[in-house]
Amino acid sequence: MMINFIEKSKTILFDLLGKSEKSSDEELSNDIDAVRFVVLDTETTGFDYTTDRILCIGAIVLQNNTIPINGSFEVYIQQEHYDQATAKIHGILKEFVIDRPTELEALQQFLDFLGDSIIIAHHTIFDITMINKALERNGLPELKNKTLDTAVLYKKTLLVSNLLERKENYSLDELADKFDISKKDRHTAMGDAYITAIAFLKILNKLRERKEITLRQLFK
């Protein structure tokens, strides 16, 4: 009976992942304010895509320049792999007193929340790769959602000048300082997702000061 439940869950997840492919070029001409974005962050046991695991996923909906009151998602995942050293950063203890679903159950909850939204993250490649590795471990295809990276978008707001040196990478802390965003809950999945969401809105405002911006232009 448990096998049937797992197979049924996987069928639902395959369907959700298939629908996310619709978040493609046909949507890129849409007005930014009409689009549903999901800003996410993961806290992990480390930075190795193969051996490390996701401990928590935090995500926030952004639509029409606002964060809806009920537009948030947070899940702590049951994991056997644990690195005590990284716990000093994210603060998630192995014996954390909270109901934690299995990785497959957590992925199902996350995909239900995500749908075909456009994903926003800071240094997107890390979070997306960690999630895709988790999907792969559970026999599921990778995410097909379009993604935006606030680290990349921020550089679009900077003046192009030979007198000003532009860095290759900008940290989330640097964006928070630049835009005067509180770092009170830094290094928690939900806290970092919130900082990234506010940073994205600030970046949009900066870009709009120059000219009207379209969704398609954000991906260029």
CATH number at residue 50: 3.30.420.10
On the 0-12 / 13-18 / 19+ scale of CB atoms within 10 A, 214 is middle
Residue 125 has phi, psi (to 5 degrees) of -55, -35
Contact call for residues 141 and 17 (beta carbons, < 8 A): yes
pTM of the predicted model, to two decimals? 0.84
> Where in the sequence is the domain holding 139, given as residue range(s)?
2-218
The pLDDT of residue 51 is: 92
**Structurally, how many domains does the chain consist of?**
1
Phi/psi class of residue 65: alpha, beta or left (left: φ > 0; alpha: ψ in -120 to 50)? left
| End-to-end Cα separation, the chain, in angstroms | 49
Count how many residues are written for the chain.
Answer: 220
The pLDDT of residue 18 is: 60
pLDDT (tens, 9 = 90+) of the chain, 220 residues, equals: 545 545 555 565 566 566 555 555 555 656 898 999 999 999 998 899 999 999 999 999 999 999 998 899 999 998 775 555 544 444 445 555 467 899 999 999 999 999 999 999 999 999 999 999 999 999 999 999 999 999 999 999 987 655 567 788 899 999 999 999 999 888 899 999 999 999 999 999 999 998 888 999 999 8
